Chain A
Amino acid sequence: MTPSLTCRLIRLGFSAVVLVTATTVFAAERKMEARLIWGTNEDKSPNPDHKPLDGELARKLREMPLKWKNYFEVNRHVFTINTATYTNIEMSKKCRIEVKDKGGNNVTVKLFGEGKQVNRVDKPLPLGEVLTIGGDAKDKNAWFITVRPINGDTKALDAQKNGVIAKPAK
């Protein structure tokens, strides 16, 4: 084998490694949104800072046969997920979710309460679909965490403004 051919092969191999690595690391990071929502039949949320939920998500929840009439957005997080690691989102003082891209349109969402994993959901979540995890809260109210993919918008990735802690989970 001639030196020039060897060099070419080495360069080719190196390029292939770089390409594969780049593809793996940067492959199709999906943009997602998670919201913490308070469901109640009271006219107001206990916290005056919570704004009434509006838009498409509010409409979907109202169309569902749920017994709560009013929904309030506690917080909203926009983040990206990838196939390599879980993205951690602190939804409240006591709970967080971890979300991972499983390839195709599939995602895994894990719910943690007080440090313990409460639930894990694996499901397809293409654009337009919403995964909602919910449960009872006191006084016959309910909490909901909605997770859905959104269209790419770098301006929306305003982690500081929303107080998001979106970092790869351990």
Chain B
Amino acid sequence: MNVDVGIRLQAYLDGELTGREAQQVAALIESDAGARALFGELQQTRTWLKSNEPELSLPESREFFWSKVEREIEPLEKTPASGGPSWLFFLRRHVAAVGGLTVAAALVIFAAVQMNVVPTGGLLEEIDNPLDEVGTFSFRSESQKMTLVWISNPFADAEESSDVTPMPMPIHLPEDIQ
């Protein structure tokens, strides 16, 4: 069963299809045994999940947990002294200037990055997959300074499947790399 068909069955189950799309899927369920079986599985899974959310108890006593929450809340409740503290005046006078400088610096850095002047390691990247059937997943290891782009080929076993066209993957068989 094609993954796309399965996802449409799911969307129908979840009420996420438009009227016409829903009718098409309903007709498919009616006519195709495989689709009917998969729909049944999805429906069954949704039913037993929804009504059986795992229940857990917070492993700390009521008093202990509340004491931690209360300790964090209480400082928020303290009001400033009348007339305003002198630190507020200090903040207004100095932090505003520092804040302005920070914004200006950020703008300079942003512009430098846009002009590819500043090396950004693996932080800025773009990955494009022109083929719809191929997906990618990327992750970066900062310690190894390595970015891995993993190309998923949903049709890697196309030889075994009769209803899909093999995707043009770089290496598929050992003889490709000899």
Contacts and interface: CB of A to CB of B under 8 A. Distances in A.
Partners in one complex: yes
Interface of A: 36, 38, 46-47, 49-50, 60-61, 63-64, 74, 91-95, 102-106, 111-124, 126, 128-139, 141, 143, 145
Contact of B149 (A38, A112, A132): A132
A120 B156 contact: no
A98 B125 CA distance: 17
A121 to B, nearest CB: 5
B121 A129 contact: yes
Contacts of A106: 116
Interface string B94-124: 0000000000000000000001111111111
A135 B173 contact: no
Interface stretch (B27-35, B41-49, B136-144): B136-144
Nearest to A146: B146
A59 to B, nearest CB: 8
Q: How large is the interface on B (under 10, 10 to 19, 20 to 34, 35 or more residues)?
A: 35 or more
Contacts of B122: 123-124, 129
B130 to A, nearest CB: 5
Contacts of B116: 102-106, 124
Given A118-B129, A119-B127, A133 B143 contact: no
Nearest to B131: A118
B177 interface: yes
Nearest to A91: B170
Contacts of B120: 124
B178 A46 contact: yes
A4 B145 CA distance: 58
B171 interface: yes
A112 B130 CA distance: 11
A117 B152 CA distance: 14
Contact of B176 (A93, A130, A134): A93
Contacts of A38: 177
A137 B171 contact: yes
Nearest to A126: B119
Given A121-B125, A123-B122, A135-B153, A129 B174 contact: no
A143 B170 CA distance: 9
Nearest to A124: B120
B125 A111 contact: no
A50 B167 CA distance: 26
Given A47-B174, A104-B116, A132-B147, A121 B127 contact: yes
A50 B176 CA distance: 13
B170 A118 contact: yes
Given A112-B168, A130-B145, 7 more contacts: A60-B145, A74-B177, A92-B170, A119-B151, A135-B171, A138-B172, A143-B171
B128 interface: yes
Given A47-B177, A133-B151, A92 B168 contact: no
A149 to B, nearest CB: 11
